Homo-oligomer: A and B are copies of this chain.
Amino acid sequence: MSLHTNTPLQPPSDAMARTVTGGPIRGSYKIYSSPAGWPQLRVPFRKVDLSDPAEAPLQLYDASGPYTDPGYQVDLSKGLPPLREPWLAARGLEPDTAARLAGDGSHRGSTPVCPAPLTLRRGVAGKPLTQLEFARAGIVTEEMAYAAHRENLGRAEAARDAAERRADGEDFGAAIPTWVTPEFVRDEIACGRAILPANINHPELEPMLIGRNFLVKVNANIGNSAVSSGVAEEVEKLVWSTRWGADTVMDLSTGQDIHSIRSWIMRNSPVPIGTVPIYQALELVGGDPLKLDWPVFRDTLIEQAQQGVDYFTIHAGVRLAHVPLTANRVTGIVSRGGSIMARWCLAGHRENFLYTHFAEICEICRRYDVSLSLGDGLRPGSQADANDAAQFAELETLGELTRIAWDHGCQVMVEGPGHVPMHKIKANMDKQLAACGEAPFYTLGPLTTDVAPGYDHITSGIGAAMIGWFGTAMLCYVTPKEHLGLPNRDDVKTGVITYKIAAHAADLAKGHPAARVRDDALSRARFDFRWEDQFHLALDPDTAYAFHDETMPKAAHKQARFCSMCGPKFCSMKISQDLRDDVRAMEAAPCGDEAMAPVAGGLHVVGA
């Protein structure tokens, strides 16, 4: 379905066998703008100019990083510009000399570590280090101001009728402000209702927010597999998914070279990167869950934290006592991490070491400001298992762990299901808010039926839109290949676009004050037959163009005042516009024409 008409950028390094996708997204160009009072910040947006002079250009949120900036020369071995470096340098952090970054047991393959320079840092005790600690101390960081500016997208345009737009939504207790100040961001982070995932060793990051009073975000999963190979190929997955709007990316790689491949991803990622460290730990013990232990896991955490990973999924909620609750399930335990830890617990009849060592995990995460993403290892894998005792027992534990993380100064979000029929979705949100003190919820779908393998981006997009509306802060995408195979490039794009739809539908329904600005601009373009404006405002301009070309390929058709579905005679919008012409004629007629008055009197032609 998706088209790849974009200019590939050739990385200059000889070491790179392949290219990553770059250049502007069709119909838009990159701009940078600085929030008032923060001239040193350059916050990226995409800008779409429209063909009608009466229509103001539209700015769009931009997660794609420098790759869509034509002025940026890709060199994967140099990495992205470390835009946070001056901010971090001023914070009195100490150098981290523990040398895990040099490689370890997991680095068995032939891939070299990314040579991009990195000033390795760690936090010190007694001084604010994490965004949460800064927020609690009343300090607005550069990251907060940067992210606030991103969140204000469209709010100036919407300001005129913001009150009306707000009243239009149902926010289920969210409190989305008319204007996002850096202080509002600070307050949301301070109370744990939002996180700003930003490892101090990821200076290339463009800061963003995850919280239910901000735009709903989307995560895409990438990861190398047995058959994949090159470093550029892995980085391209990152670049490709963020190009279409992924706000964060999880690297779920397993296998050899996991450490060195991640180094390339980190140094070239403009978005927060999440990992599931238990995967690498399992590699280190030869793949046998029963051989896992705390020291191996601890060292893995430190290694990944030093690399700059922004959030860790930790399956500390899978407690020994929960495992029997899964025994009568139709689909047992479907989370990889969850099944690994359940087996570990049960085989030795012992408590999950991630749970017993959770305070130490927090200490490591705090030192680098790695956010915690509390994994739902017991999430349901089928409609039959949704909202069962195992799932909700774990959720209670995740609430307990949330508070421990907060006590350690760590930012934390909570992962959620999974497979859930529509009528059971809201209970998930309500219970999560109650159990976890409003920490951001981060869900996988949920899939609203099990009967459509091959279309699970859709079965889950339905659930994602709904739970996003109810308050979920970030939606983890599902691709059409879910349950069946490894997603290819088209699948990744389809998954991301589907989830951008879900997230945006959620923003609209919540009454986000600026969400409808884009819908309205596109709808006006549609009604005015400004075809190219319509395409440029679309989530996927390439596909919109290609579909239109299929039936009306000529350039002149892009000016046609009808479309191929109905033809000129049956075009409702054409007829509807003729209607307006009728009205114009009537309004120009003498007032004495009383028969017309009741109709014409009520008509106000849009744009007239």
Contact = CB atoms under 8 A, between A and B. Distances in A.
Interface centre among A320, A338, A501 (most CB of B within 10 A): A501
A14 to B, nearest CB: 31
A533 to B, nearest CB: 11
A381 interface: yes
Given A505-B449, A569-B282, A606-B329, A483 B599 contact: no
A1 to B, nearest CB: 7
A508 B421 contact: yes
Contact of A327 (B349, B462, B543, B606): B606
Interface stretch (A133-141, A181-189, A544-552): A544-552
A595 B523 contact: no
A170 B427 CA distance: 13
Contacts of A431: none
A423 B504 CA distance: 13
Contact of A342 (B327, B567, B576): B576
A455 interface: yes
A608 B125 CA distance: 54
A327 to B, nearest CB: 4
A333 B448 contact: no
Interface string A386-404: 0000000000000000000
A119 interface: no
A565 B485 contact: yes
A605 interface: yes
A511 B422 CA distance: 10
A323 interface: yes
Nearest to A527: B331
Given A349-B595, A547-B480, A459 B327 contact: no
A364 interface: no
Given A381-B526, A383-B519, 7 more contacts: A282-B570, A331-B526, A381-B523, A381-B527, A423-B508, A449-B508, A480-B547
A243 to B, nearest CB: 16
Interface stretch (A80-88, A105-113, A577-585): A577-585
Nearest to A497: B455
Interface string A321-355: 10111111111111110111011001101000000
Interface centre among A421, A449, A602 (most CB of B within 10 A): A449
A24 interface: no
Copies per assembly: 2
A327 B603 contact: yes
A264 interface: no
A605 B576 CA distance: 64
Interface in A553-608: 563-567, 569-573, 575-580, 582-583, 595-596, 598-606
Interface in A427-484: 448-455, 457-459, 461-462, 465-466, 469, 480-481, 483-484
A480 B458 CA distance: 13
7 contacts: A384-B519, A384-B523, A421-B508, A423-B508, A449-B508, A452-B497, A481-B550
Contacts of A461: 458, 461-462
A577 B526 contact: no
Contacts of A331: 523-524, 526-527, 573
Interface in A27-67: none
Contact of A323 (B483, B497, B579): B579
Contacts of A329: 606
Contact of A332 (B330, B419, B505, B580): B580
A452 B488 CA distance: 21
Contacts of A601: 324
A289 interface: yes
Contacts of A449: 501, 504-505, 508, 519
Contacts of A327: 580, 583, 602-606
Interface stretch (A15-23, A203-211, A534-542): A534-542
B543 A455 contact: yes
A523 B606 contact: no
Contacts of A26: none
A343 B582 contact: yes
A557 to B, nearest CB: 10
Contacts of A466: 422, 462, 466
Contacts of A382: 519-520, 523, 526-527
A538 B451 contact: yes
Nearest to A487: B565
Contact of A421 (B330, B338, B342, B509): B509
